[in-house]
Structure 1
């Protein structure tokens, strides 16, 4: 059963230049999805709509069969309870430690989650700016995982990382889909990430042109 559905969704920033054109998709728990396509094709816009950061101009986004605009208290409720974001630039609070960053969303002690991602207890008490890019991305993922959100939305999560670190981050996301039963949706330009995905969706000129 689909946890998320995109039904005939359209979006534009200027009415004469549509970004998304009647997109229809469904996403299940326990799978890693990769949304690929050229720059400017609407990948990040689609992820933002799925995550409730913006509203479709047409169509609807459903979570467990209900429009995310209507369920609970609307988009803010959806963002707080159903989804967690991982961004390319980490989006960590720079004056905080990894532990403090994870505590912003955590429903549990953040240390075990951080340690499971390779961040030691000592590193968890340092300022995040003293960590490497790969470590900061692990903290960002820990923040998403600690929220217990059923859906993880990752926008180019490996874009700023070296090849080996990118591969490790991809495996962490894939493992959380398969072992924790989460739905993980990744926007990526990386062929390596796409190869690890259970489902690859290709977006071009605002439409899904290929799905496998």
Structure 2
């Protein structure tokens, strides 16, 4: 059984122009997936549905075989999924340690340290950190929540190429070392090339791409 499964998921603002049209996916722990496609193709909409921020117009989303609406969307967001956003979404008057403590089920410093932040950096205001460092804090917050699924919405979009590569590697390590299911939406081919599995979203339909 896959950790997350979507069955015929459809979403639209107008019935005649579905954003998502019968999406079927199977997603597992220990894997990094990239949902690839141009801006406006529905990637963020799909991520929002997977994370319980919205509900499909038709079809079902299952988590460990249970419909997410049976689990409860609030519980899903609290216990099952963690989000990483392009703009970091950190509390800007707090330190990295304080930001991670907001969702942590474990001590924040070991996780921050594993992601490359020294104790001195972890006690600074987050606005004094670089973009790459802030994104590492956001990923640390997701990991320390111990939620099994990490959903990342264009997490490298605000970063230079070198830092983007580092953040992509951190997310891949989150899948492998922490046994999380990591789902990234991106229009970056460089990010897609690092995925275990790439899905291309186009015209409301999704298909698996070869990453050979």
Output the TM-score relative to the length of structure 1: 0.96
Work out which of the residue numbers 186, 192, 203 in structure 2 matches 1:188.
186
CA contact (8 A) 2:42 2:204 kept: yes
Tell me the equivalent position of 1:61: 61
Q: Quick one: distance in 2 between partners of 1:16 and 1:129?
A: 44
What CA distance in whole angstroms lies between the structure 1 residues aligned with 2:6 and 2:28?
A: 12
Aligned to 2:32: 32
Query: Which residue in the other structure is 2:92 paired with?
Result: 94
Where in structure 1 are there 5+ consecutive unaligned residues?
Answer: none
Cα separation, 1, equivalents of 2:61 and 2:77: 13
Q: In the alignment, is residue 201 of structure 1 matched against residue 199 of structure 2?
A: yes
Counterpart Cα distance in 2 of 1:108 and 1:13 = 40
Aligned twin of 1:153: 151
1:209, distance to aligned residue in structure 2 (A): 3.6
Give the corresponding residue for 1:21: 21
2:161 matched to 1:163? yes
For structure 2, the residue ranges without an aligned partner over 5 or more in a row are none
2:92 and 2:12 map into 1 onto residues whose CA distance is: 33
Q: Is the 8 A contact 1:203 1:210 kept in 2?
A: no
Deviations 1:66-92 (A, max 9, x none): 001102xx1000011111000000000
Contact 1:106 1:146 in 2 (8 A): yes
Query: Match for residue 9 of structure 2?
Result: 9
CA distance in 2, matches of 1:162, 1:152: 22
Partner of 1:47: 47
d(CA) in 2 for partners of 1:133, 1:209? 32
**How many pairs were matched up?**
210
1:117 paired residue number: 115
Distance 2:203 2:39 in 1: 10
- Superposed CA RMSD: 1.0
Mapped to 1, the partners of 2:84 and 2:149 lie a distance apart of 11
- C-alpha distance in structure 2 between counterparts of 1:69 and 1:170, whole Å: 31
Q: With structure 2 as the length reference, what TM-score do the two structures score?
A: 0.96
Q: Is the 8 A contact 2:41 2:203 kept in 1?
A: yes
